[in-house]
Structure 1
Amino acid sequence: MPEAANKRHHWLTGWNPEDEDAWRAGGRRVARRNLVLSVLAEHIGFSVWTLWSVLVLFMTPDIGFAFEPGEKFLLVAVPTVVGSLLRLPYSYAVTRYGGRNWTVFATAILLVPASLALYFVQRPGTPLWVFLAIGALGGAGGGNFASSMTNITAFFPHRHQGWALGLNAGGGNIGVAVVQLVGLTVISLTGHTHPSYVAAVYLPLIVVVALLAAWKMDNIDAVRTAPGAQREAVRDRDTWLISALYVGTFGSFIGYGVAFGLVLQNEFGASPLEAVGYTFLGPLLGSLARPFGGLLADRSGGARVTFRAFLGMGAGTALLLAAARLHSFGLFTAAFTGLFVLSGLGNGSAYKMIPAAFARKAEAQVLSGGDAGAAFARARRLSGAAIAIAGAVGGLGGAAINLAFTFSYTDGSGSGTPAFLAFLAYYVLCLTLIRVRYGHHDRADTGSAPNTTKEVSRVRV
């Protein structure tokens, strides 16, 4: 696995993480360096993407913003939608321009929405459409997830992908909690009249991370895919079935992450300080849980771990319904925090299901007489494309959660109960899907993807 063919352009050629000798000889070090920088870039992307989940809590009538609850939920939903839609082109961009090159660009461009947010959020009377436009630009931070995950998938061998993808995504997801901690710090030190300080924190961080990525990251030829990889993945049934599961895990995580503060304000009348103070813990724990969801999936199988995560999420949602009925703030926040943790575990395990599904198909092809190298190269290529599709669809699930809350809190009842019932029904649907389609596959979901015919003969199927 040569570290290099063209140092001047940061391209590494001949990358094959399944070659264990080359992996031990230096491939592991290269992959880990790129993983660390990928986590930093994705972290900043998530923070900018969910910036408005904090800023809307500052936008109260006493400082000149008289937006209705539905308008605020719409404002936090718009970046979620845009970020989700950008995930497919962002994933393709990595295969076209290289992981290092695209990471530098995708990070640096976040200076635009962060700067605009800093300027306009201190100007009462600014119409809603201006904030919606800035929020849409901030959606670019959500696109970073797909490009980052597609890139990291190619760096690591199959046997380590659950952990690597979970760590990469979890480190990025923590950006949701960190931006809320920044908001909490600002409110604690200056009150809720200076929301621009939250955006100001990220301007120098964006510059630093972009420069680090340009200096230390690599492009690898393995991430370049033949034209049509996404079209081929779109035609595969498992792409869409696992995407539906990811709607339930990641859609819940990002949807709850940006809406939790507003839910507390509308359900319990929480102040901006109380809302931010209670909302950061759930996304933080959920982000930390994601790598462990991937690790558990590496050991036990992605379907088994995801199934158990959905069981827990169903129970947690039932607790939310009980807490809302009892008007118990403590039980409500505890149940919500539990949902974040379980969705984080499910995020990591659901993503492990993607390369495992395509690896199983490659194994079947080889055992039927196909070429091992070609079969597993195709599986890796389609895994990257399917990850991008699942990421896009899952992000749209987050927007659906915010729209459900919008309708729930504006239908005259002033309660989130209708939304919670809808979420519970979807979790039951996901449990059924896993049981019917993936319950018998877990024994083949662990281990390394073979890259020679000799190795394939030893694969468990």
Structure 2
Amino acid sequence: MSRWIERWDPEDETFWNEGGGRRVARRNLVFSVLSEHIGFSVWSLWSVMVLFMGPGYGIDPAGKFFLVAMPTLVGGVLRVPYTFAVAKFGGRNWTIVSALLLLIPTVTAAFVVKPGVSYTTLMLVAALTGVGGGNFASSMTNINSFYPLREKGWALGLNAGGGNLGVAAIQLVGLLVIGTAGATHPRTVLAVYIPLIVVAATLAALFMDNLAPVKNDTGAAIDAARDPHTWIMSLLYVGTFGSFIGYSFAFGLVLQNQFGRTPLGAADLTFIGPLLGSLVRPVGGRLADRFGGARITWWNFLAMAAATGLVVAASEAKSLAAFLVGFIALFVFSGVGNGSAYKMIPGIFHKKAESLGLTGEAAAAHGRRLSGAAMGLIGAVGALGGVAINLAFRESFLDAKSGTPAFVSFLAFYAVCFAVTWAVYLRRPAGVPDAAGQGAPAGAAAYAEV
């Protein structure tokens, strides 16, 4: 059965409200969220699986941090081709394919994860779960095409937040399995998700659509890659989303190695941070709508630095309670920053279009073209920040038997992000008038409202 839509014009309010556009977009959003949610769960699988790996697996803490970094690396790299797959194959078709690809790492893990398996084999299987990380890019690209500009913020925020919740969901499943079946039954987690993957792919096939007007724009991708703001925002997104996904994968291991928690003792806490960080992502977007994404992102990095300082102090004092307060605050602020930083991207490119002399719909079209391409690159680089976090923890526990040196390095990085946000997007150069950035050069006060 063909599910291709030949005409799609959500900016036409008559088509959107009376011609069925809103209904079709909402239906595709629901099943896109479901597929992306399960993709995030599979991407986060090894943050749970390492909690089941006792002495029989022969893996030290440093090895476990390296193990959970592998899916982040592969997932970040895959976000680039996944961004272009929607236009190449169709949003519905690629959602089906990307969902079914999740069966490869889950079924493989069901066969190989057992005491005595080689570390190399586990690394390869962990790498396969990176396909779940690519789902975010294709899902966001697909939903971006369905919604009009006036509703993109809400739709993309809901899509992203629903996907991010997959991290907390699989950690809750892991908690239930460890608490009931025990820490020697990792296959039970897989038994939950394998049928859910099939259900998600089936529902996508039955209820989603492809948009024929959506085409890849290679020129836009090249232009976005050449623009310095793409890479500046990539740096800031490393600080927000990279922190969220990196801490999500590492939280349980840090609790086990820093405070001697048992697998069950770690699992009953690990889901809290990712859950709160996912739920507040739309809040960050809403605050950015009201006060400006650059301002919220700037203050948010200050808050992340303060929370990291609390974590460092708690680590030195060996205070689990204070450590949890600081670490969970880091999740919350990373979620707020995810929403505000992502909100900045279209605003930045719209401002750049205006600086070229474009106005009205011409400026909006130019901004959408470049921001859509930039989002794929920024999302990929941001995800790679999670790799850096887990490798930093690996080195920290390997050398100092503590996570404190890693947290100190994260504190320094947040300070850099705080300074860059101010210098590029908020600082008003000498001689620039106060009126909403009029006459401001690109990259200065003109971007304060984005």
What TM-score, normalized by structure 2, do the two folds share?
0.92
CA distance in 2, matches of 1:184, 1:444: 51
Three-state SS of the structure 2 residue aligned to 1:225 is: coil
Question: Amino acid of the residue matched to residue 384 of structure 2?
Answer: L
Question: Which of residues 28, 36, 52 in structure 1 aligns to 2:22?
Answer: 28
Contact 1:166 1:292 in 2 (8 A): no
Cα distance per residue 1:258-308 (max 9 Å; x no partner): 000000111001100011111101000101111221222223221122122
**Matching residue of 1:85:** 77
Identity %: 59
Contact 1:150 1:385 in 2 (8 A): no
Cα distance per residue 1:95-144 (max 9 Å; x no partner): 211211111100111111001111211x2111011111111111000011
Counterparts of residues 52-201 of structure 1 (less than 5 Å): 52-61=46-55, 64-121=56-113, 123-201=114-192
Deviation at 1:360, TM superposition (A): 2.0
Three-state SS of the structure 2 residue aligned to 1:9 is: coil
Question: Amino acid of the residue matched to residue 430 of structure 1?
Answer: C
CA distance in 1, matches of 2:224, 2:40: 26
CA distance in 2, matches of 1:73, 1:237: 32
Counterparts of residues 7-406 of structure 1 (less than 5 Å): 8-25=1-18, 26-61=20-55, 64-121=56-113, 123-365=114-356, 368=357, 370=358, 373=361, 375-406=363-394
Cα distance per residue 1:316-341 (max 9 Å; x no partner): 00100110011000111111111111
**Matching residue of 1:421:** 408
Cα distance per residue 1:392-445 (max 9 Å; x no partner): 00010000000000000001x21111111111111111111111222279x989
With over 3 angstroms needed to count, the CA separation of the structure-2 counterparts of 1:434 and 1:16, relative to structure 1, is: farther
Deviation at 1:24, TM superposition (A): 2.4
CA distance in 2, matches of 1:156, 1:293: 20
Contact 2:97 2:201 in 1 (8 A): yes
CA distance in 1, matches of 2:290, 2:152: 12
Question: Amino acid of the residue matched to residue 337 of structure 1?
Answer: I
Deviates more, 1:68-77 or 1:379-388: 379-388
Contact 1:154 1:380 in 2 (8 A): no
CA distance in 1, matches of 2:3, 2:362: 26
Contact 1:162 1:349 in 2 (8 A): no
Deviation at 1:188, TM superposition (A): 0.9
Deviation at 1:159, TM superposition (A): 3.2
Question: Amino acid of the residue matched to residue 52 of structure 2?
Answer: F
CA distance in 2, matches of 1:73, 1:332: 19
CA distance in 2, matches of 1:420, 1:228: 40
CA distance in 1, matches of 2:106, 2:133: 14
CA distance in 2, matches of 1:150, 1:437: 27
Contact 2:350 2:366 in 1 (8 A): no
Aligned residues: 432
Task: Provide the aligned C-alpha RMSD in A.
Answer: 2.0
With over 3 angstroms needed to count, the CA separation of the structure-2 counterparts of 1:378 and 1:16, relative to structure 1, is: farther
CA distance in 2, matches of 1:99, 1:248: 29
Three-state SS of the structure 1 residue aligned to 2:401 is: coil
Contact 1:233 1:386 in 2 (8 A): yes
Deviation at 1:372, TM superposition (A): 5.3
* Residue 436 (1) aligns with residue 429 (2): no
Contact 1:15 1:222 in 2 (8 A): yes
CA distance in 2, matches of 1:311, 1:23: 41
Deviation at 1:353, TM superposition (A): 0.9
CA distance in 2, matches of 1:161, 1:371: 20
Contact 1:33 1:217 in 2 (8 A): yes
CA distance in 2, matches of 1:305, 1:23: 32
With over 3 angstroms needed to count, the CA separation of the structure-2 counterparts of 1:187 and 1:196, relative to structure 1, is: same
Three-state SS of the structure 1 residue aligned to 2:218 is: coil
**Matching residue of 1:4:** none
Contact 1:166 1:293 in 2 (8 A): no
CA distance in 2, matches of 1:158, 1:362: 16
CA distance in 1, matches of 2:60, 2:77: 26
Deviation at 1:364, TM superposition (A): 3.8
CA distance in 2, matches of 1:364, 1:220: 32
Deviation at 1:94, TM superposition (A): 1.2
Contact 2:256 2:266 in 1 (8 A): yes
* Residue 409 (1) aligns with residue 397 (2): yes
Deviation at 1:156, TM superposition (A): 2.2
